[in-house]
Structure 1
Amino acid sequence: METFKRYLFFQACTLVFGIVGPIFLILFFTTQPDPSMKWAYWWGLFITAADVLIALRLAGSAGKDKVPGDVRIAAAMAKRAQARSKDPD
């Protein structure tokens, strides 16, 4: 349930900052059928899908039992630097 709450939070954030996609979709569906408005449908669909995928990725990447990726990378680099400083070469 915690992951779902985190997903809802990230989804709300991405839709607030990426509101352009849903606006394009609303624009496309509320205007009269016009072939020149196809771009609004496709861009709206693409941006909205990207927002959803970003929210899913963010929600799944950080859990209570998981260490964030950047911390793991920083720890590995520090360990490597420490090993190099101990080498007599």
Structure 2
Amino acid sequence: MATFKKYLIFQAMTLTFGIVGPIFLIVYFAAQPEPELRWMYFAGLTITTIDVLVALVLAGAEKDDAPVTHLDVIEL
């Protein structure tokens, strides 16, 4: 559960810094279908995907750096 909590914190942080991705997606789907706005879909999707992957990597890295305790040894 602690890893999930860290993931949520990192996800909120990356979406705050990379808010332009979801904004591009919202504008693309809210606007009338126009060929000129197609770039917003791909840019928004790319930025949002990178945000999610960065949050997952950061949450995973935090888990790997945790010191081994006696409870971890018992579970092995």
Q: Do both share a fold (TM > 0.5)?
A: yes
* Number of residues of Structure 1 aligned to a counterpart in Structure 2: 66
**How far does the alpha carbon of each residue in 1:35-67 deviate from its partner, in whole angstroms, 9 at most, with x for none?**
11000000000000000000000000012337x
Q: Percent of counterpart pairs with the same letter? A: 59
Q: 1:65 is aligned with what amino acid? A: P
Aligned to 2:62: 62
Larger Cα-atom Rg: 1
How large is the RMSD of aligned CA atoms in angstroms?
Answer: 1.1
Aligned to 1:28: 28
Unmatched runs of 5 consecutive residues or more in structure 1: 67-89
Matches within 5 A, 1:37-52: 37-52=37-52
Unmatched runs of 5 consecutive residues or more in structure 2: 69-76
Distance in 2 (alpha carbons) for counterparts of 1:10 and 1:58: 7
Distance in 2 (alpha carbons) for counterparts of 1:16 and 1:62: 20
What's the TM-score, normalizing by structure 2? 0.83
For CA contacts below 8 A with separation 6 or more, give which structure has more relative contact order.
2
